[in-house]
Structure 1
Amino acid sequence: MAGRIKDEDIALVRERTPIADVIGEYLQLRNAGGGSLKGLCPFHDEKSPSFNVTPSKNLYYCFGCGEGGDAISFLQRIDNLSFAEAVESLAKQSGITLRYEEGGRSTRRGDEGQRQRLLDAHRAAAEFYAERLLSPEAVTARRFLTDRGFNRENAEQFGLGFAPAGWENLTTHLRHKGFTDQELITGGLASQGRRGAYDRFRNRLLWPVREVTGEVVGFGARKLASEEDGPKYLNSPESPIFHKGRLLYGLDLAKREISRHNEAVIVEGYTDVMACHLSGVPTAVATCGTSFGEDHVKILRRMLQGRSNHGGRVVFTFDGDAAGQKAAVRAFAEEHGFASETFVSVQPDGLDPCDLRIQQGPQAVADLVHQAAPLYEFMIRKVMEEYDLTTAEGRIAALDAAAPVVASIRNEGVRLAYGKNLDRWLGLMDEAFVLRRVRQHMGRAGGRGAERAGARGNGRAQARGASPAGPPVTPDAREAPYDLRDPSVQRERQALKIAVQHPGLAVGFDQFSDEDFTVPQHKAVLGLIRGLGGVAAAHDPGRWAIDLREAAPTEAQRDFLTRLAVEEIEFYGELDEHYAAQMLGTIRTHSINRRMANLKSALSRLDPRTQVEEQERVATELMALQQQKRALQEEASG
């Protein structure tokens, strides 16, 4: 074993290594003024850049997590290297020959760290496989590429290779180069058999998987003979240098373009990456035999601008089949990790970018990416497709299915915008109603435990009519969303409290129908009142609330009625018939507004050439509602 590296050589490596170039291989750096550069820290999760690089001093420091040092310590930290391994790696990049304390340049196998040995073995393996792709036995591999629209130049651009069918072709080749069987097994190039090491990849077309720095750390291999055992695609196993959860195929080629265009395109396969790059989409990358995950998010975020609310465009492309749809759902789950605008594009006919390039040409691939829809819009429209939007029931069902998707959007402004879009896509023509539904689902998303805690913590505030910090919950809200911050819920609850506590003042209450209330809890109380003959049958106001409570079929409804009977009715001055009439009139007015919006929506969807009678019927009903609304307004003003 060689001794420690000479101090003067270490100093020379530090001096000749431009720290901005080294760090720039791993994250996007931008001018921060004063001769400094700034980017997103690779050592902790952040959305606003706090990682600073000072090229004049060859130092970096993160004001977020406190990590700092020079190029050597950066490489140690980010690639999990020893000090000597980091120095040797940088020396190789700068063309510096290192000397060790015993003197002379070390050439023995043990003089270099394990990581560098494995990287050297993979580089030699990639060269071996690339040469074999031109051999007579690789005719099937070359035909596979030709059938998919790739030529020799394309294969060389991406470093493709061919693993011969024998058991020890690569193993024997690398043994002659001084690598041990244990190194080949540890690196995933060979497997352990009863008689020793043997090649992991046999009779397969291979794609070298590179680190962002361009070093080969593994391979993805495609089976060429269907009758042979093994999976269709076989990847390198996890090893000291290959961690598929932190690797993106093609990133070494795409990183400059990702930073320049501020866009990253995520596709599903190796040939899809090639097809995109050859079709004018040089920002395409793919995962290596695993789902797109949190570590991939962090890698791409560092390559993009990394602003909190604006910045890079991330486009997911998926097949149009069921698997592609599931992949889109997974992407939706990961979306919140991006500070970038996220889009999704699914080819309707099920073609992936590779097949699309073959059948429709390179422009079709570029169009697939450029015409991508925002991920939230894709998910919302996907949910809506399951419902019949020509019926009121279908539109409301679609609303209840899509509202949780909108409610999951963390950015308040974006959530509001998509709530308004949802109203337009459904044709409900009632933004306030749709946004209310979204807020109800936001309250519901907290879970039953949160509901119970909210019910206990906000009970007194609800009784006073105060505005609580979170969505107040009644016991029966487990069956349907109930948010007391919703103005409509507040108005309806006020009207119900009048009907329960002062039935003699609730003149006209018995004319209400289910359509006049927006939440199931209120409709249930209306049904109970109607079942006892309406407020007109409340001859003994003192017994009325008790009778209603005893008529309730469930404990939850009894509890809700108790709340309505004891809560204070919020009003100014003395509660009288005039105030009660105003409150009930407001409920009717909002109900009419909702029904008018639905009729206008239906009218807009009718074809005037073929649905004349239906158009006239809807228009007549709309006019009747308008007359009712005018009558209510006149009554209120009188």
Structure 2
Amino acid sequence: MAGRISDEDIAVVRERSPIADVVGEHIQLRNAGGGNLKGLCPFHDEKSPSFNVTPARGYYYCFGCAEGGDVITFVRKIENLTFTEAVERLAQRAGIQLRYEQGGYVPGREQGERVRLIEAHRAAAEFYAERLATPDAAPGRRFLSERGFERVDAERFGVGYAPAEWEALSRHLMGRGFTAQELIRGGIAREGRRGPIDRFRGRLVWPIRDITGDVIGFGARKLLESDDGPKYLNTPESPIYHKSSVLYGVDLAKREIAKRSQAVIVEGYTDVMACHLAGVPTAVATCGTSFGEEHIKVLRRLLLDQAEFRGEVIFTFDGDSAGQKAALRAFQDEQKFVTQTFVAVQPDGLDPCDLRVKQGDAAVRDLVASREPLFAFAIRSVLSRYDLNTNEGRLGALDAVAPVVAGIKDPGLRKTYVVDLDRWLGFMDEGFVIRRIQQVIGRDRGPGQARAPKQETVDPAVRLEAEVLKLAVQRPALLGPEFDALGAETFTLPEHVGLYGMIIGVGGTVTGGPGGREWVDRLLEQAGSAGETGEAGADLRSMTTRFAVEALRADTAVEERYAAAMLAKLHETAVGRALAQVKSRLQRLNPVEEQQEYKRLFGELVALEQQHRVLRERAAGA
């Protein structure tokens, strides 16, 4: 291991890394007067900007959360790096070759993990891009051509081709000095019987870049009929790739998002390409996951999303029922933006990519221009399910839409939509509509009604238990004997203990196979015959059903790895509780007077600590 970076080189890195430029790659900064710049703090949620940058002195400070420092501190915190990794990250950005004391410069030896993984991904992206021109990549070129993309478009977005070979990329990268461990750790390859094998084979590949432009992962589209994998396969979670905060195309869109105060959310890689090429350069997409809170934080910082600066976030969805459901899910997050949110729906169900192919660039721009406020779309989506030509239909629609209207936090906006709702339903009596909404909300919360579903606890340990039980209900084969051997004492919530006992009662997950309806039916049948009656039995059945349909917190492509990690974490948590109990008992013993018992417990403590360490390593590496 090479020594520390020389102080002289650290000083050069600071000098050649203007703090306004580095911070500006992550958030939008505006003139705050006095030579200062300001923006929304990336380290805590806030409505008004309190994050200040002073370029002349090279420092930043947030008056909201008291975070401050220089450009190296900022990179350390924003990217969760060590000091050395942050310096290396900035040196790479500025084209500076670092020198290390106590050993000098040894290329590739002393670099931090992030730098090495970034370099490996950049080399992989170049490899894929070059292979797009080979004869074997003809299906990929045809796929792009059929969707209106030319060679220059593929080059602009870095689209490439992964050869239909087991080790083509792995051999190439290892020949350039990268280790098998680095390739597997970064998600570029996975462990094979004789070494690393390529994660993507025979697929069209899009490089996924972070906000600064570094390649951190890939999205790959199936091309071959012989490929039995999912249509789209994404890089798994890694030290540099976290799908919950990644937006495809954000590196290309960030300047225009800040300039136009607009962000357009589309559903896929080709949709982002189509929008940018059609004149909508603010388009971004999520990568293998639904749009969520971390994505909102990224966009808010780029939009400088604050009360006195009204921008636009536009969601594009298909006009079918699935698209409407997606829009209604977006409604749940809408009010986390200060800015205005809209929905742009193509009635014929065409996504931006298909729309561009069939109707041209102007049609894509028109789609975005035809946006409708998200609240209005959510309300209209509910109303469309009812016959508004009858009194029964209008009243049913009003009752169904009441929670949506009541969920609007801004009182003025809520009142405005009550007026619109009255007009859309044709009652022409705003007072009646308001009273009815209040009655519906009050009735749903009042006594004597069906019990509301229990709110999911925020306790991480209990949430972990729930996720493992959800896996047991949905994917029993992924858990198998290790889950069955856990024991009921592993679980802390009584209903979790009950569900675990019920699973064991039907033979355990080893008898569940791949899961599916038959397995769930067995569990529900067991719930009815396990001696549980009344409310307890109903709770057990309800929980089983909920776990059977509730989405797992992982992509299908990484479920096996995810299940192993969750199981190890749960086991680790249980062993941690046992450790605490043994330590407590040891503290109460007199090591001289109760020597034999003390030795026995001390031996148990050592064994538990070793088991805890192994499980922690398994959970981290799974």
The two structures share one fold, judged by TM-score above 0.5: yes
Alignment of 1:277-356 (within 5 A): 277-308=276-307, 310-356=309-355
Q: C-alpha separation between the residues in 1 aligned to 2:439 and 2:279? A: 45
Q: C-alpha separation between the residues in 1 aligned to 2:413 and 2:442? A: 18
* 2:477 alignment counterpart: none
Moved more, 30-39 or 181-190: 30-39
Are 1:424 and 2:423 counterparts?
yes
Alignment of 1:490-505 (within 5 A): none
Letter in 1 for 2:379: I
Alignment of 1:190-229 (within 5 A): 190-229=189-228
Structure 1 residue 313, shift from structure 2 partner? 0.3
Letter in 1 for 2:18: P
Q: C-alpha separation between the residues in 2 aligned to 1:435 and 1:53? A: 47
Match of 2:278, SS state, is coil
Q: C-alpha separation between the residues in 1 aligned to 2:160 and 2:261? A: 31
Closer, same or farther in 2 for the Cα pair 1:439/1:32, shift >3 Å? Answer: farther
Instruction: Check whether the contact 1:309–1:339 (CA below 8 A) recurs between aligned residues.
Output: no
Match of 2:177, SS state, is coil
Are 1:33 and 2:33 counterparts?
yes
* 2:186 alignment counterpart: 187
* 2:432 alignment counterpart: 433
Q: C-alpha separation between the residues in 2 aligned to 1:443 and 1:363? A: 48
Alignment of 1:45-444 (within 5 A): 45-102=45-102, 104-107=104-107, 109-308=108-307, 310-441=309-440, 443=442
Q: C-alpha separation between the residues in 2 aligned to 1:420 and 1:103? A: 74
Q: C-alpha separation between the residues in 2 aligned to 1:224 and 1:393? A: 50
Q: C-alpha separation between the residues in 2 aligned to 1:163 and 1:477? A: 57
Instruction: Check whether the contact 2:27–2:304 (CA below 8 A) recurs between aligned residues.
Output: no
Match of 2:341, SS state, is strand
Instruction: Check whether the contact 1:387–1:395 (CA below 8 A) recurs between aligned residues.
Output: yes
Q: C-alpha separation between the residues in 1 aligned to 2:43 and 2:389? A: 52
Q: C-alpha separation between the residues in 2 aligned to 1:147 and 1:324? A: 24
Q: C-alpha separation between the residues in 2 aligned to 1:367 and 1:73? A: 44
Instruction: Check whether the contact 1:209–1:249 (CA below 8 A) recurs between aligned residues.
Output: yes
Instruction: Check whether the contact 2:161–2:203 (CA below 8 A) recurs between aligned residues.
Output: yes
Structure 1 residue 36, shift from structure 2 partner? 0.9
Structure 1 residue 320, shift from structure 2 partner? 2.1
Q: C-alpha separation between the residues in 1 aligned to 2:448 and 2:353? A: 53
Instruction: Check whether the contact 1:130–1:161 (CA below 8 A) recurs between aligned residues.
Output: yes
* 1:512 alignment counterpart: none
Q: C-alpha separation between the residues in 2 aligned to 1:320 and 1:223? A: 25
Structure 1 residue 444, shift from structure 2 partner? 5.3
Closer, same or farther in 2 for the Cα pair 1:210/1:27, shift >3 Å? Answer: same
* 2:463 alignment counterpart: none
Structure 1 residue 476, shift from structure 2 partner? 7.1
Closer, same or farther in 2 for the Cα pair 1:325/1:427, shift >3 Å? Answer: same
Instruction: Check whether the contact 1:309–1:340 (CA below 8 A) recurs between aligned residues.
Output: no
Match of 1:4, SS state, is coil
Structure 1 residue 7, shift from structure 2 partner? 1.1
Letter in 1 for 2:117: L
Alignment of 1:599-638 (within 5 A): none
Letter in 1 for 2:20: A
String of CA shifts for 1:389-419, please: whole Å, max 9, x gaps: 2223322222222222111000111111111
Instruction: Check whether the contact 1:419–1:438 (CA below 8 A) recurs between aligned residues.
Output: no
String of CA shifts for 1:214-266, please: whole Å, max 9, x gaps: 00000000010123221111100110011111100000000000000100000
Q: C-alpha separation between the residues in 1 aligned to 2:60 and 2:437? A: 45
Q: C-alpha separation between the residues in 2 aligned to 1:84 and 1:441? A: 59
Q: C-alpha separation between the residues in 2 aligned to 1:386 and 1:309? A: 37
Letter in 1 for 2:274: A
Structure 1 residue 441, shift from structure 2 partner? 4.5
Instruction: Check whether the contact 2:50–2:64 (CA below 8 A) recurs between aligned residues.
Output: yes
Letter in 1 for 2:192: G
Match of 1:53, SS state, is strand
Structure 1 residue 129, shift from structure 2 partner? 0.5
Letter in 1 for 2:53: V
Alignment of 1:518-597 (within 5 A): none
Aligned residue pair count: 451
Match of 1:202, SS state, is coil
Structure 1 residue 99, shift from structure 2 partner? 1.7
* 2:465 alignment counterpart: none
Instruction: Check whether the contact 1:204–1:221 (CA below 8 A) recurs between aligned residues.
Output: yes
Q: C-alpha separation between the residues in 2 aligned to 1:191 and 1:53? A: 42
Match of 1:337, SS state, is coil
* 2:539 alignment counterpart: none
Letter in 2 for 1:14: R
Q: C-alpha separation between the residues in 1 aligned to 2:225 and 2:415? A: 52
String of CA shifts for 1:163-222, please: whole Å, max 9, x gaps: 011111101100110001110000011110111111111010000000000000000000
Match of 2:42, SS state, is coil
Structure 1 residue 96, shift from structure 2 partner? 2.3
Structure 1 residue 31, shift from structure 2 partner? 1.1
* 1:560 alignment counterpart: none
String of CA shifts for 1:585-625, please: whole Å, max 9, x gaps: xxxxxxxxxxxxxxxxxxxxxxxxxxxxxxxxxxxxxxxxx
Q: In angstroms, what is the RMSD of aligned CA positions?
A: 1.6
* 2:20 alignment counterpart: 20
What TM-score does the superposition give when structure 2 sets the normalisation length?
Answer: 0.71
Structure 1 residues not aligned, in runs of 5+: 449-474, 480-638
Q: C-alpha separation between the residues in 2 aligned to 1:89 and 1:441? A: 56
Structure 1 residue 102, shift from structure 2 partner? 2.8
Letter in 1 for 2:96: I
**Which of these two proteins has the greater Rg computed from alpha carbons?**
1
Q: C-alpha separation between the residues in 1 aligned to 2:390 and 2:22? A: 61
Instruction: Check whether the contact 2:248–2:286 (CA below 8 A) recurs between aligned residues.
Output: yes
Letter in 2 for 1:365: V
Q: C-alpha separation between the residues in 1 aligned to 2:441 and 2:337? A: 21
Structure 1 residue 101, shift from structure 2 partner? 1.4
* 1:608 alignment counterpart: none
Structure 1 residue 438, shift from structure 2 partner? 3.2
Instruction: Check whether the contact 1:263–1:314 (CA below 8 A) recurs between aligned residues.
Output: yes
* 1:468 alignment counterpart: none
Closer, same or farther in 2 for the Cα pair 1:336/1:442, shift >3 Å? Answer: farther
Letter in 2 for 1:284: A
Match of 2:225, SS state, is coil
Quick one: percent identity of the two aligned structures? 65
Instruction: Check whether the contact 2:324–2:381 (CA below 8 A) recurs between aligned residues.
Output: no
Q: C-alpha separation between the residues in 2 aligned to 1:388 and 1:319? A: 23
Q: C-alpha separation between the residues in 2 aligned to 1:147 and 1:198? A: 31
Closer, same or farther in 2 for the Cα pair 1:362/1:10, shift >3 Å? Answer: same
String of CA shifts for 1:103-148, please: whole Å, max 9, x gaps: 64331x3210011000000000000000000111111100000000
What TM-score does the superposition give when structure 1 sets the normalisation length?
Answer: 0.69
Match of 2:265, SS state, is strand
Letter in 1 for 2:424: W
